[in-house]
Amino acid sequence: MEAVTAAWERYAAGRTPRRTRNAAGAATWLNWTQYADHGPDESVIGGVEGRRVLEIGCGSGCNLAHLATLGAQCVGIDIAPSQREKAEKRWGHLPGLSFRTAEARDFLAAHPDSFDVVLSIFGPVWFTDPTTFLPLVRRSLTAGGVFAFSHKPPQTDRRPGERLREARAVARWDHSPHEWASLLAGACFTNITATVIDPPKGACEGTLLVRAETERHRLVEAVGTNESSGR
């Protein structure tokens, strides 16, 4: 794990901070794709006011800061301590927003039934074995919770266990939209959509965007049990 953290620290050191304004003049915005001023906005996850949002692998916190300005109660975690410092320096003044240094699996395992929305934008969903990771995400969500993530689509010439160019200690789990839908269904997510967003003009690589929900009827089942027992 130390090698992985060190790799993400190297990645963090090489990043250019996000602009202070986007093309529309906004100071905060949510960007699902690898391109500036491109792709859908926060409407992918629905209204966030008053909802508890966790972003795993939040980097310097720019996407999460936008959701905090919309009234969400936000927690951002990142394995790289320097990312937390950057996030707190830039966004620490916003209410309803906190950042922690944590590994995503450890954090999710320690926070069952805690969030209405979990996000990963080019984050740990891409870098963690989904067969163990998706059940942890699902368990951290409340009933009817939303899980959404984005990253690059698989290369046509991908090889299993391919290493990231940016962080050679890090493995990557590349799956097609169809494969992600199947993995999520296997982890008991519902209302699953998995698509590739077209790239902007002049670029050739799209962005995989996946959204799923947890089942809404955990409480209804409990009520039904009581009713059927005659009480």
Ligand X SMILES: C[S@@+](CC[C@H](N)C(=O)[O-])C[C@H]1O[C@@H](n2cnc3c(N)ncnc32)[C@H](O)[C@@H]1O
Binding site for ligand X (CB under 6 A): 8, 56-59, 63, 77-80, 83, 103-104, 121-124, 127-128
Length of the chain: 231
Residue among 141 and 167 whose Cβ is closer to ligand X: 167
Would you say 55 and 107 are in contact if contact means Cβ atoms under 8 Å apart?
no
Give the sign of the dihedral formed by CA 98, CA 62, CA 133, CA 149.
Answer: positive
> Which residue number has the CB closest to ligand X?
57
- What do you get for the CA distance between the two ends of the chain, in Å? 51
**Which residues sit opposite 73 in a β-bridge?**
52
CB of 34 to ligand X, least distance (A): 9
Residue among 78 and 116 whose Cβ is closer to ligand X: 78
The helix (run of H) or strand (run of E) holding residue 191 is strand 190-197
CB of 163 to ligand X, least distance (A): 14
The helix (run of H) or strand (run of E) holding residue 81 is helix 81-91
CB of 162 to ligand X, least distance (A): 15
Residue 13, token pair as written in the block? 């050191």
Residue among 35 and 143 whose Cβ is closer to ligand X: 35
Residue among 114 and 144 whose Cβ is closer to ligand X: 114
Q: How far apart are CA 112 and CA 231, in angstroms?
A: 29
CB of 214 to ligand X, least distance (A): 21
CB of 122 to ligand X, least distance (A): 4
Q: What are phi and psi of 177, to 5 degrees?
A: -55, -45
Residue among 85 and 215 whose Cβ is closer to ligand X: 85
